[in-house]
């Protein structure tokens, strides 16, 4: 099986032993505490789940600036973007060396999510923030949802190693879908798969996505596909994870061969960082054991901040050759061809014009569904469209 990034074995910050977890929770009752931002809580979950392996905790300022600019930590290890714990309030009593109980902002009562051994408390200057956002998001525009979220979290940066004690709401809300990197590795081994392609999604999968996955499986000679969906916070207007989960499971049940697809999810808040987030997504998938990863048009993008294929070219132009072993399957925009009566990658049918494809904007899809109108069967499987229609009509 493909090794994790930068290490012979996966390294996760989760405390697996139940007795140890109870001891840490007892300790937490007597520790100074901090309620995390949603993004910092998601980072803690990802550290606990092994997706950030071999990172042991939240980065300090030097590593944050280095990873933002060079995609490497100060010790030379590859990491594509900063993993931070930012806050706008800090107790004067906190000192390096102390242990802090980190509380979950996304669950009632803010229970303890993790314990951090505090390495340092540093201030993120306006210049530091501008540098990080420019490197990671390629913009400092406060209208960009990722930039806005980053800037709202605060100026105090807390770094240190973590003991993660649970996986927040993800195990409760998505018991059949949320999986750690090590759980997915175990499932791949149990299935006997050697060549495995992963597909990232924050959206329901229409026929173009379905076909793209099938094309990748066939051309790569894959034993299996992992549809790996983001389960964390999204921007307003995106489809909730529960609806996406139901739609994807329905599509796989009806249209993929039995035992050829694993459906899983991970607890991360979307960054909308385009090319840089695509590299992070590949990092996650190598850690979970996939050998290949699909990168399509405008991967992890938002608005018009990124070029259509910037998320593909970054691997050739900016990612160091020794950084990742996972291989990228570069895909074009896929759409239904009315000339061929099938879904194709658009760049591969040179005799077509735009009028030969069924292309619906996200806005048009939402309009049709909210009005109770069916999506074209050339665009979406009817079983999937039915689930989405019920969601939009419930929203009013």
DSSP string over 56-123: -EE--HHHHHHHHHHSB-TTS-B-SS----EES---TT--TT-EEEEEPTTSTT--EEEEEEEEEEEE
Which of the 8 DSSP states describes residue 346?
Answer: G
CA distance linking residue 64 with residue 39, whole number of Å: 15
CA distance linking residue 20 with residue 18, whole number of Å: 5
Catalytic position from the list 21, 107, 110, 203: 203
CA distance linking residue 253 with residue 91, whole number of Å: 52
- Scanning the structure block, which residue is given the tokens 């669950």? 107
202 annotated active-site: yes
Parallel, antiparallel, or unpaired for β 327-330 and 292-295?
A: parallel
- Scanning the structure block, which residue is given the tokens 């697809």? 261
CA distance linking residue 284 with residue 50, whole number of Å: 9
Question: 329 - beta bridge partners?
Answer: 294
Give me the torsion for CA of 55, 282, 35, 129, rounded to 10°: 90
CA distance linking residue 30 with residue 99, whole number of Å: 10
First to last CA, the chain: 48
CA distance linking residue 197 with residue 42, whole number of Å: 24
Nearest to 174 by CA among 290, 43, 268: 268
CA distance linking residue 112 with residue 242, whole number of Å: 25
Measured CA to CA in angstroms, residue 352 lies from 84, 330, 348 at distances of 47, 21, 9
Catalytic position from the list 103, 202, 285, 297: 202
Nearest to 150 by CA among 273, 288, 236: 273
138 annotated active-site: no
Measured CA to CA in angstroms, residue 97 lies from 94, 116, 121 at distances of 9, 10, 10
DSSP string over 114-135: EEEEEEEEEE--HHHHHHHHHH
Active-site amino acid positions: 202-203
């Amino acid at each position: 099986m493909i090794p994790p990034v930068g290490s012979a074995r996966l390294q996760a910050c989760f405390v697996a032993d139940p007795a140890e977890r109870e001891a840490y929770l007892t300790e937490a009752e007597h520790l100074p505490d901090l309620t995390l931002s949603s993004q910092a809580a998601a980072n803690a979950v990802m550290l606990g789940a092994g997706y950030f392996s071999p990172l042991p905790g939240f980065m300090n300022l030097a590593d944050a600036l280095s990873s933002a600019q060079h995609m490497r930590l100060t010790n030379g290890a590859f990491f594509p973007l900063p993993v931070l714990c930012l806050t706008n309030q800090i107790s004067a009593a906190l000192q390096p060396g102390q242990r802090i109980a980190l509380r979950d902002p996304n669950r009632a009562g803010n229970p303890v999510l993790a314990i951090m051994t505090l390495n340092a408390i540093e201030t993120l200057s306006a210049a530091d923030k501008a540098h990080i956002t420019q490197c990671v998001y390629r913009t400092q525009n406060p209208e960009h949802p990722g930039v806005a979220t980053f800037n709202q979290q605060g100026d105090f940066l807390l770094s240190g190693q973590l003991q993660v004690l649970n996986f927040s709401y993800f195990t409760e809300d998505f018991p059949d879908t949320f999986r750690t990197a090590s759980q997915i590795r175990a499932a791949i081994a149990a299935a006997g798969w050697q060549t495995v392609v992963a597909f990232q999604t924050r959206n329901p999968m229409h026929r173009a996505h379905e076909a793209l996955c099938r094309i990748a499986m066939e051309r790569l000679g894959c034993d299996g596909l992992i549809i790996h969906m983001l389960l964390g916070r999204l921007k307003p207007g995106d489809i909730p994870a529960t609806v996406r989960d139901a739609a994807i499971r329905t599509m796989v049940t009806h249209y993929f061969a039995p035992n050829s697809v694993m459906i899983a999810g991970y607890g991360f808040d979307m960054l909308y960082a385009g090319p840089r987030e695509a590299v992070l997504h590949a990092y996650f998938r190598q850690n979970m054991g996939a050998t290949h990863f699909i990168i399509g048009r405008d991967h992890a993008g938002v608005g018009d901040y990124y070029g259509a294929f910037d998320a593909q070219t970054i691997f050739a132009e900016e990612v160091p050759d020794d950084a990742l072993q996972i291989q990228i399957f570069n895909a074009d925009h896929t759409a239904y061809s009315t000339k061929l009566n099938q879904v194709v990658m658009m760049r591969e049918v040179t005799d077509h014009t735009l009028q030969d494809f069924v292309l619906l904007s996200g806005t048009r899809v939402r309009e049709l569904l909210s009005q109770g109108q069916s999506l074209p069967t050339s665009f979406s499987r009817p079983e999937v469209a039915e689930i989405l229609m019920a969601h939009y009509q419930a929203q009013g």
